[in-house]
Chains A and B, each alone.
Chain A
């Protein structure tokens, strides 16, 4: 029986089956993609988490053995859900593609021997991205092995999450058709690229952006949204990662920034609880507070820039222990609470 799990949860992305996660380097897009996959897999769903740059970021995040060419289960989600992992490899995708569409048993090997496969996957412009996105396309469309195989069978995956290239390269990556169109005006590569682009631009896809509350990642988020819009890619949510806990109130931050916190009061308080109130410690604490206030101010400005984008926005707290498998689960919970999944 096909599980009628649809609409048991009300999320911001109902109907989206392909989630593309990008962000500037260092913003934690891989961990956010992993958390999103876990969140989407809750309640018995099957989710594929795919990386396309061969970095093995997924296996490292989930602390499992490096991903190979087959999809393997990497995590159980809440209530029986499953996350599968795949490191998409351009060469394998090409051989699979040739096999699937051209039934090229022997020719595949010959092409390999002549360096044609290397040429296509590393040097020919755009082809590599067609192959990588093509594999994602295949996974989204694949149907489960089922008695009623064909259009009646449920999809192999309820959702596919892609840990995509960083913001600087993601639009070119997704907009494969554009590049290939100049080269292959007709022919099978052209039609393959067209089908992929049609899916990527459809409402079943969303491109999410991960950022930190820092100037450059936010600027790249703004730029990338504009670029995505220009090429007609569906823009998803903005995930603000590593949000600091608010420890000091607005008043205290203001006082810290103005150097208006009384040293004597702080010294007296410290002495009361037997902390040695040396000048070094008091100056240190006040400097920390002033730096912190400066940073909080900058973060507030950046948060405003993000708000002005009018995209659904999610906030993931900074995990003080760093990100491990448990941290990912915590992040997944937060994303679910906030309605991303």
Chain B
């Protein structure tokens, strides 16, 4: 038996200031983050939930109509214990623009914001979303602690971007960092600086090859856009790098914890395995695994095989009784019972499959606390549904 993930102990621990929910796409990460946030708020914490999802699903489930890069209060939650809940959705481009505006002079900022290369990077570079999610997390944390005696939030719940891989969230800032520190960026920015030529001599003769090739492949105009962009950002790089490092450090801090979310499917659990191993490698704090949408039967005392057998036997008995009479089968109520038994058998098989997938994961990671959330029969898009998920997360 692996340990149970005690959600209430987790959200009740004032030491925990950040909970990061991560996992593959389609496993219910956003719902889990929202449900956790709601439960924490209703247990008395000052919570903000940061979501990064283009489908605006959290907006629906939290009854918000506007998610505009600013935390907005969620209405109709239970505030009897003195908690509060804000929610926001990341606007990647706006976050990037704000970083530029905060770190460059007005004139320079304007220049950067107008650069076509910047516009493309800020709205679509694969990884900007992850980087900006980190940036926003850092900002929220600063904002939370602005007044140490009266923190605006004492818990931040983050839903990670719907990336190609859950690991991208951890990798993107590093990738950007290594690019910013790399030779290529210096090569790009050098010609635009005074004395750039001399600086370039430090490099090998390869520089010429690179510049020539880039001109040939990218075309002169695109290359010069890139160079202008890089030169304009140059002064900000230190800041970028530092902030990325700072947020990354925040993630490995003792006040942060990760929850890996999965569904009882092979692929989702494999992704969860990768993530769990990776967090371990990076010495990042893992609270545990949530397996969502576990199918459960309401009559666990009856096995699939027994139910099927009973359904068949009912049919046989009826046809014995009615032999000679109208041949086609069973009375109406027996048909209903047969239906119930067959349906139960199918559901019991699905439940058994989910159970065995979950068991296999747990066997491979015996020390990781897990919580299972049963599948809901309907979709979740309101506070009532989220509250029920929260209950289930907490094992009630």
Contacts and interface: CB of A to CB of B under 8 A. Distances in A.
Interface of A: 24-27, 30, 53-55, 57, 60, 98, 102, 104, 106-107, 110-111, 113-116, 118-119, 122-126, 128, 165-166, 168-169, 172, 179, 182-190, 214-217, 219-220, 223, 244-245, 247-249, 252, 255, 261-262, 265-266, 269-270, 272-276, 278, 280-289, 291-292, 294-295, 298, 320-323
A298 B124 contact: no
A280 B301 contact: yes
24 contacts: A25-B27, A26-B24, A26-B26, A27-B26, A53-B165, A57-B267, A111-B210, A114-B183, A114-B206, A115-B184, A122-B127, A123-B176, A172-B124, A183-B116, A184-B218, A188-B216, A215-B379, A252-B335, A273-B314, A284-B298, A285-B340, A289-B340, A291-B298, A321-B353
Nearest to A184: B222
CB-CB nearest 4 A-B residue pairs = A284-B299, A25-B25, A26-B26, A187-B219
A272 B317 contact: yes
Given A24-B26, A53-B164, A289-B340, A220 B298 contact: no
Interface residues of B, number: 82
A265 B299 contact: no
B255 interface: no
Given A119-B184, A298-B378, A125 B340 contact: no
B300 interface: yes
Contacts of B176: 123
Nearest to B356: A322
B392 to A, nearest CB: 14
Contacts of A190: 219
A227 to B, nearest CB: 11
Interface stretch (B245-253, B277-285, B344-352): B344-352
B120 interface: yes
Interface of B: 24-27, 54-55, 57, 116-117, 119-121, 123-127, 162, 164-165, 175-176, 179, 182-185, 187, 206-207, 209-210, 212-214, 216-222, 225-226, 263, 265-268, 270, 297-302, 306-307, 310, 313-314, 317, 333-337, 339-344, 346-347, 349-350, 353, 377-379, 381
A296 to B, nearest CB: 10
The binding surface of chain B is classed by DSSP as: helix
Given A187-B218, A273-B317, A320-B346, 13 more contacts: A122-B126, A123-B176, A184-B221, A188-B219, A190-B219, A216-B57, A261-B336, A275-B306, A276-B301, A285-B341, A287-B298, A288-B298, A298-B378
Given A119-B184, A128-B126, A284-B300, A252 B164 contact: no
A252 B339 contact: yes
A216 B353 contact: no
Given A183-B117, A188-B219, A249-B339, A119 B299 contact: no
Contact of B218 (A55, A182, A189): A189
B26 A107 contact: no
A128 B126 CA distance: 9
A285 B310 contact: no
Contact of B127 (A123, A168, A274): A123
B252 to A, nearest CB: 23
A257 B91 CA distance: 42
Nearest to B161: A168
Contacts of B270: 60
A154 B337 CA distance: 59
A106 B209 contact: yes
Contacts, number: 235
B313 A184 contact: no
Nearest to B316: A273
Given A113-B206, A247-B339, A269 B333 contact: yes
Nearest to B343: A247
Nearest to B302: A281
B164 A165 contact: yes
B162 A166 contact: yes
Nearest to B118: A125
A269 B187 contact: no
Contacts of B217: 98, 102, 187-189
Contact of B214 (A116, A220, A276, A286): A116
A273 B218 contact: no
Contacts of B300: 284
B353 to A, nearest CB: 6
Contact of B210 (A114, A123, A189, A217): A114
Contacts of A169: 162
B339 A110 contact: no
Contacts of B225: 183
A250 B212 CA distance: 71
Contacts of A266: 333, 336-337, 340
